[in-house]
Amino acid sequence: MNEELNQHLSQLLDDELDYQVALNLLQKMHTSPELKSTFARYATISHALKTDQFLPVPPNISENIAQQIAQEATYLLPQHKPAGHHYKRAALAASVAVVAVLAARGVNLPPLPATAPEATSLQVAQKTPAKPEGQTIANTALQPEDPYPLNARISDYLEAHNNSVYTGEVDVDFRPLTKETSYNQR
Amino acid sequence: MNSKTRPGEQLDEELVARVQRGDKKAFDLLVIKYQHRIIQLVNRYVKDPSEAQDVAQEAFIKAYRALGNFRGEAAFYTWLYRIAINTAKNYLVARTRRNTQYEQDIQEAEKIENAPQLQDMESPERQLLNQEIIDTIKAAIALLPEEMRTAIMLREFEGMSYEEIAVAMDCPVGTVRSRIFRAREAIDSKLSPLLEHGDFR
């Protein structure tokens, strides 16, 4: 085991050690003075062979640097996110805004005068506030007699908001939302 | 990562990214990996070993402070190398100013670099010990088997990679790896007794 580690130290010195093995070895060296010392001796031999000079390196030098670094400010660089994230957020915010506007309009729309006295087409999609149970049952009982049936109102709404009319895929009698709301107020 | 990136560079990129995310321990690993190379580099300018160590430490601290601006255009070691050289030159200029009161600039530091007679002179005891260690290493190399000696010489003197040595010696890369390691172990076994008993500071 020790021999294998020493061989890895020799390879690390020559920059010939695979990424993951080198990372593991450095982490072991961080806590092992013995490994640090062996690495220092290999480095000393290498330097002496090349320069005919002996240059000792005390093993605690990395600890001295670590102590000084510990007193330095920690790096927290801003994370650079891809530009697409901004578009996604903007699209999400826009969608939420549209839904909120539609919901608000639905709440403020006046009731239909003759054809649909109890509800507007937009109110169909909106959750109605809690009412006394008896009244809800009474309203439900009235639905079949409604002259402007629920299904027809949903169809009108969907037709007015069908994107296909904008793209020309379907040839329909396009009625924008403004028309839809205005004819209801007629 | 570039396909031509060496394993060492890939490791450096990973450790630098960790430091930039606030992991100080990753910088310790970079120091452990490069401290010897940086001290040896600085020692080419600052001849006193203890001063060279101080300058190397200063270079690492500067590198840590500047790491936020490191964008990986060059390899990390190349970047660190430049910081270490500039730190060493600045140190020489500052020291010369302190000693002589003369104004000197970086160019003058280059002159000092090229004039060994102006650099720190070692004490006679230190010179003697240095010579003893060099002689021991040379004797250990002379005793190595031919294949080990060739492998380590090609590595240390010619700077060849393991793959190139394998081609030159007509053997597998694993054999080269093993021969270089065995050579270092053999030299280390002769050197260790001297290092344990010597006072090198």
Q: Do B32 and A27 touch (CB under 8 A)?
A: no
Q: Do B21 and A77 touch (CB under 8 A)?
A: yes
CA separation for the pair A44, A38 (Å, rounded):
10
Taking Cα atoms as reference points, which of B101, B119, B99, B98 lies closest to residue B109?
B119
pLDDT at A93: 85
Smallest CA-to-CA distance from B5 within B62, B78, B58 is with B78
**Min Cα–Cα distance to chain B from A37, Å:** 11
Q: How far apart are CA B195 and CA B185, in angstroms?
A: 14
Q: Do B29 and A77 touch (CB under 8 A)?
A: no
**How far apart, in whole angstroms, are the C-alpha atoms of residue B152 and residue B181?**
9
Contact state of A43 with B36 under an 8 Å Cβ cutoff: yes
Instruction: Give dist(CA B186, CA A112) in Å, integer.
Output: 100
| Predicted pLDDT of residue A149 | 75
d(CA A165, CA B65) in angstroms, rounded, equals 60
Euclidean distance between CA atoms A56 and B43, whole angstroms? 11
Is residue B191 within 8 Å of residue B137, measured between CB atoms?
Answer: yes
Mention every residue, 6+ apart, whose C-beta is less than 8 A from residue B120.
B46, B47, B48, B51
User: How confident is the model over B77-86, as a mean pLDDT?
Assistant: 96
Picking from A6, A19, A45, the nearest residue to B10 by CB comes out as A19
- For residue A130, give both structure tokens: 């809690």
Q: What is the pLDDT of residue B201?
A: 42
**Residues A58, B51 contacting (CB under 8 angstroms):** no
Q: Tell me if B33 sits within 8 A of B39, measured CB to CB.
A: no
Mean pLDDT value of segment B142-169: 96
Cβ separation B7–A23 shorter than 8 A = no
- Compute CA distances A58 → A34, A71, B191, whole Å: 12, 22, 16
Q: Do B191 and A55 touch (CB under 8 A)?
A: no
Q: How far apart are CA B52 and CA B120, in angstroms?
A: 11
The amino acid present at A67, given as its one-letter code, is: Q
For B108-128, what is the mean pLDDT?
Answer: 61
Q: Kindly list the residues from chain B whose CB atom is less than 8 angstroms away from the CB atom of residue A23.
A: 11, 14-15, 29
Task: Determine whether the interchain pair B7/A16 forms a contact, defined as Cβ–Cβ distance below 8 Å.
Answer: yes
Residue of A nearest to B175 (CA): A7
User: Looking at the partner chain, which of A7, A26, A74 has a beta carbon nearest the beta carbon of B29?
Assistant: A26
What gap in Å lies between CA A52 and CA B49, rounded to an integer? 15
| B7/A18 Cβ within 8 A | yes
DSSP string, B83-128: HHHHHHHHHHHHHHHHHH-----HHHHHHHHT-GGGSPPPPHHHHH
ipTM for this model: 0.84
Contact A68 B61 (CB under 8 A): yes
- Most confident by average pLDDT, A57-61, A143-147, B122-126, B134-138: B134-138
Query: In chain B, pLDDT over 70 holds for what percent of residues?
Result: 83
Which of A7, A11, A12, A15 is the mutation pick for testing B, counting most B CBs within 10 A? A15
- Residue A127: the pLDDT is 45
Q: By percentage, how much of chain B surpasses pLDDT 90?
A: 64
Q: What is the DSSP letter of A15?
A: T
Closest residue on chain B to A8 (Cα): B181
- CB of B191 closer than 8 Å to CB of A46: no
Question: So what's the pLDDT on residue B197?
Answer: 65
pLDDT at B158: 94
Whether residue B49 and residue A56 make contact (CB cut-off 8 A), yes or no, is yes
A20: Cβ–Cβ under 8 A, 6 or more apart, which residues?
A: none
Nearest-neighbour CA in chain A from B29: distance (Å): 6
Phi and psi angles of residue B101, each rounded to the nearest 5 degrees, phi first: 65, 10
CA distance A57 to B9: 24
* pLDDT of res. B41: 95
Distance of CA B129 to the CA centre of its chain: 21
Q: Which residues from A are below 8 Å from B162, CB to CB?
A: 14, 16
The number of C-beta contacts closer than 8 angstroms across A and B is: 154
Mean pLDDT of the B102-111 span: 59
Contact state of B29 with A12 under an 8 Å Cβ cutoff: no
Measured between beta carbons, the chain A residues lying within 8 angstroms of B76 are: none
Amino acid B145: pLDDT: 97
Strongest mean pLDDT among A101-110, B34-43, B93-102: B34-43
Give every CB contact of residue A102 below 8 A, 6+ residues apart in sequence. A122
How far does A45 lie from chain B, in Å, by closest CA? 7
Tell me how far apart the alpha carbons of residues B36 and A99 are, in angstroms, rounded to a whole number: 64
Q: In a structure prediction context, what are the per-residue pLDDT tens digits for chain A, which is 186 residues long? A: 589 999 999 999 999 999 999 999 999 999 999 999 999 999 999 999 998 888 887 777 888 899 988 888 776 665 454 555 566 777 888 888 888 888 877 655 555 554 444 444 444 444 444 444 444 444 444 445 566 677 888 888 777 776 655 555 555 555 555 555 555 554
Question: Average pLDDT of B176-185?
Answer: 97
